[in-house]
Structure 1
Amino acid sequence: MRGLDSLKRWLEQHARAAIGALGRLARRPAGSLMTTAVVGIALALPGGFLVGLDNLEAATGGWDGNPRLSVFLEKDVPEDQQARMADRLRAMDPILGVERIDPDTGLAELREQTGLADSLSLLDDNPLPPVLDARLIEGIGSNATDTLLAEVQSMAGVDEIRLDRLWLERLQALTSLAGRVVTLVALLLGLTVALVVGNTIRLDIANARPEIEITKLIGGTDGFVRRPFLYAGLWYGLAGGVLAALLMSIGVALITGPAGQLAALYDSGFVPAGPGLSGTLALVATGGGLGLLGAWLAVGRHLADIEPGH
């Protein structure tokens, strides 16, 4: 029972400290809003980049992960030779399957996909060559790709080869690099948040120096004196996290219309997504943690220097 009473008193002390810290922030709204705005913007920048990378991965995620190799043959290659070439391609390790596309089929697909049926009907002859469309294994390395391209190019009857989706592989590499850069930026801005909150708490400690001295003089412990400042840092961080999530949601809402129009041009149903509930909670938790860290550093450094009579 005694332990339960101690826990109840401990919870009451922390509740009073948290509410009191929130009340002090509310009594000086201008300064509190400025600090919250700095924290929110600092959190929104890396958060926005991460949301952008997630949306980019979602936009390209619907594409087939296996690169395709288009082998354009010379127009006079007979069909039996085309079949032998297709069999030879199927026997190569990096190739999962091969589809033969004759010129008539290719022209029909071109009419359907480009909407140039009227213009193409004016042609006297079909200008398209036979094509072997090969589907490669996912994640094929550059060395294996170079070897495969050289081997295919050396085959008799091959006019031109083209590796599709190379741009997407480059995009994925750039996305990976961007993720590393965003992580670095997030660490730097996280440090900025901790320093901003810490500096604000330092000023609060300096302004409350007489009150702190009196509290210590009548027997107040360091923990009792420290508690309101730690909660003030926590409130700054939590409010900054909420503001960051709000800014990111507004940003996504502003680009949803143009992004939808662009996706429609590519026959895609992609719609940009905001931070969502999990992202918002992560932002708020991160902001609260950084605010608490900044307050802890400031309190630990400056509060010990304040003693009655000094």
Structure 2
Amino acid sequence: MANRPAPAPKTKPPKSGSGRAGPAAARGAKRSKTPMRELLDSYFSHHRKVAKDSARRLWRTPVASLMTWTVMGVALALPVGLLLLLTSLQGVSAGWESAARVTVYLEDHLSLEDAGRLRVDIGARGDVSEVELIDKSAALEEFRVSSGLKDALDYLDENPLPHTLLATPAEGSRTEAGMTALVDALEQTGGVAQVQVDLGWLQRLAAITEVLGRGVWALGALLAVAVILVIGNTIRLAIESRREEILVAKLVGGTDAFVRRPFLYTGLWFGFGGGVVAFVLLQLTLWFLSEPVERLAGLYRSNFALSGLSFEGTVALIAAAVLFGWLGAWLAVKRHLDAIEPG
């Protein structure tokens, strides 16, 4: 008996409105992805891949990478450390300015009641926060005890010292200009014989602080340029070592953005590592110096203390380091990568 071919399996036509998605519906779902979305996904995927590959290249050469990070860290930590020191000094100088008081010597003929009324009038000024009255008897007794001239002072017929007012400037007037204006106003007040305040040390302190501040910013700018040049030279060496790879990429149609992208990410990683190293160096230096500085400040009865970086300052330091790394890489790529063209 001849073999009969097996009957073909019966297929049921798909029911309309069954709710099941067939192959055509699946293909339609895949096509629902817009070309712009596909382009963006491909763009960011390539960026992630290049960033990871650049980080792996740095880890494959740990000694060279660590040397570059250390150079960047030292160059960044030095001006930031000096800026923190200057900030701490300005805090101490603000405390010195708050302790400055104006000594007002009254005329000899004024009675104690007149001196009290004058104390109230001066204390009502907006640029004065507190006024203390020292009558002539108390001043003479204090001078008698502190000078050691007790026997000689007994021969005086009358007290030669005047009533004295000690005026503490308000917080907004504890500057060189504010103190000068307060002294001029007190000298024109009736019943005041002499006003004494040492403005010289305030002027010298303000001048020294300004010089230190400008010096720190100038040093920071120079070291920032040095960091950019170091990164640029490192990226230049990386470009030269990958010259053949760059030529092949350009021969197969790689765009300039595609070719320069790995080197820019390398600069970003160098900057990030340098910022982290700078932060670690600052913390170690602060820990190393904090104890002797506090002991020295205690000997002078000062509340001076070194202040470290805040969270915002740490973020700003690392962000600046990343920016310098990217800028150095961009300059090197712009200068050297464009010169590499297939012959």
Work out whether 1:7 is the aligned partner of 2:57.
Answer: no
Hey, what's the Cα distance between the residues in 2 that align with 1:155 and 1:198? 68
The one of 267, 270, 276 equivalent to 1:242 is 276
Q: Which amino acid aligns with 2:249?
A: T
Structure 2 match to 1:68:
101
Q: Residue 213 of structure 1: CA displacement?
A: 0.7
Determine if the alignment matches structure 1 residue 181 to structure 2 residue 215.
yes
**Judging changes above 3 Å, is the alpha-carbon distance between structure 1 residues 46 and 96 closer, same or farther for their aligned structure 2 residues?**
same
Give the aligned partner of residue 221 of structure 1: 255
Contact 1:90 1:98 in 2 (8 A): yes
Alpha-carbon distance in structure 2 between the residues aligned to 1:222 and 1:303: 9
Q: Match of 1:213, as an amino acid?
A: L
The offset of 1:39, in angstroms, is 1.2
2:34 is equivalent to residue 34 of structure 1: no
1:232 to 253, 266, 288: 266
Q: 1:60 to 1:233 in 2, by over 3 A?
A: same
**1:50-97 superposed Cα distances (whole Å, 9 cap, x missing partner):** 111222233344456484212357999864575576578669896565
Aligned to 1:208: 242
- CA offset at residue 99 of structure 1? 2.0
Structure 2 residue aligned with 1:135: 168
SS in 2 for 1:135: strand
Letter in 2 for 1:23: R
Q: Secondary structure at the match of 1:308?
A: coil
Quote the residue 1:113 is aligned against: none
Sequence identity (%)? 40
User: What is the aligned length?
Assistant: 298
Residues 91-118 of structure 1, C-alpha deviation per residue, up to 9 Å, x if partnerless? 98965653212367569999xxxxxxxx
Note if 1:50 corresponds to 2:76: no
Report the counterpart of residue 135 of structure 2 in structure 1.
102
Distance, in Å, in 2 between the alignment partners of 1:109 and 1:43 is 54
Mark the runs of 5 or more structure 1 residues left unpaired by the alignment: 111-118
The AA in structure 2 aligned to 1:45 is L
Distance 1:7 1:108 in 2: 87
Q: Which letter does structure 1 place at the counterpart of 2:223?
A: L
Measure the CA separation in 2 of the matches of 1:104 and 1:15. Answer: 83
Q: Is the 8 A contact 1:39 1:193 kept in 2?
A: yes
- The within-5 A match list for 1:15-34 is 15-34=48-67
Q: CA deviation at 1:232?
A: 0.7
1:301 is matched with which residue?
335
Q: Partner amino acid for 1:209?
A: R
**What TM-score, normalized by structure 1, do the two folds share?**
0.79
Q: Return the index of the structure with the highest Cα Rg.
A: 2
Take 2:304 and 2:180, find their aligned partners in 1: how far apart are those partners?
34
Q: CA RMSD in A?
A: 3.6
Aligned-pair CA distance for 1:149: 8.1
Contact 2:104 2:192 in 1 (8 A): no
Match of 1:198 among 232, 235, 238: 232
Asked whether 1:282 is paired with 2:310, we answer: no
